[in-house]
Amino acid sequence: MITGKRYKIAKRLGASVFEKTQGKKFALRMDTKKAGKKPRRAGSDFGLQLLEKQRARVTYGMSEKQFKNSVENILSKKTTNINEALVQELETRLDNTVYRLGFAPTRQASRQMVNHGHINVNGKRLSIPSYKVSIGDIISIREGSQKKALFKDLNEKFKEHKVPSWLTLDEGKREAKVQGMPKIAPNELSFDVSQIFQYYSK
């Protein structure tokens, strides 16, 4: 169960921002607290835009500066589909890729995994969670980390995990390849991408 600061953040931004608050237990707790309370009034446009920005930032575990730089970088390139570009920018972070592969149960755990040097990209040890993977990159668990308790029963966990189509995973080798760019439908996201760009356009 999640408590403390993270619980308060999930209560404010929504259960989807943390993997551990997406279960029935947290939802039941929230429903119990809401019982008997008056519904909140709809916020201002700016307030809603701020909320969506915070949801995306917290979901991917980025600092305010990191997130702002990512958005401004996309805007400076004058990309045709900025919404898709932002999703790809967030999804191709190394820590998120490690999470999507099922190497770690949460994005927070995957960030720690990368920080501690357990992950290789193209055979080289990388400890930068924000590193952007590219098509053709090979992501693997470092040989010296394979037997650590951190990866115990990983093969069993793979059986319950669905790897996105832009990645291919060799479970035996615990090695994956980036075979395309992320394609995620708006209804699969926990935040509204368009609202984020409206927030930064002010």
- Answer whether 193's CB lies under 8 Å from 57's CB: no
Q: What is the pLDDT of residue 43?
A: 65
Whether 129 and 66 share a structural domain: no
**Is 88 domain-assigned?**
no
Q: What is the pLDDT of residue 196?
A: 95
Closest alpha carbon to 74 in 60, 51, 95, 90: 90
Whether 60 and 111 share a structural domain: no
Whether 10 and 59 share a structural domain: yes
Whether 73 and 103 share a structural domain: no
Whether 69 and 103 share a structural domain: no
Whether 72 and 107 share a structural domain: no
Determine the length of the chain: 202
Residue whose structure tokens are 């209560």: 11
- Given a cut of 60, whether residue 92 has pLDDT beyond it is yes
Whether 116 and 172 share a structural domain: yes
Q: Return the bridge partners of 128, or none.
A: none
Range of the domain at 158: 93-178
Whether 172 and 125 share a structural domain: yes
Q: What angle is formed at CA 12 by the lines to CA 101 and CA 200, rounded to 5 degrees? A: 75
- The mean of the pLDDT values for the chain is 86
User: 33-42 burial, b for 16+ CB within 10 Å, e for fewer?
Assistant: eeeeeeeeee
- Given a cut of 80, whether residue 19 has pLDDT beyond it is no
Banded model confidence at residue 124, pLDDT cuts 50, 70, 90: very high
User: 146-185 burial, b for 16+ CB within 10 Å, e for fewer?
Assistant: eeeebbeebeeebeeeeeeebbebebeebebebeeebeee
Whether 98 and 172 share a structural domain: yes
Whether 145 and 100 share a structural domain: yes
Whether 49 and 113 share a structural domain: no
- 56, amino acid identity: A
- 146, amino acid identity: Q
**Is 86 domain-assigned?**
no
Q: Give the count of alpha carbons within 13 A of 137, CB side only.
A: 22
3-state secondary structure of 64: helix
Banded model confidence at residue 159, pLDDT cuts 50, 70, 90: very high
- Given a cut of 70, whether residue 169 has pLDDT beyond it is yes
Closest alpha carbon to 108 in 95, 125, 89: 95
For residue 104, give the CATH number of its domain.
3.10.290.10
Whether 100 and 126 share a structural domain: yes
Give 4-57 as a DSSP string: HHHHHHHHHH-GGGSGGGSSHHHHHHHHHHHTTPPPPPP--HHHHHHHHHHHHH
Count of domains in the chain? 2
Higher pLDDT: 45 or 125? It is: 125
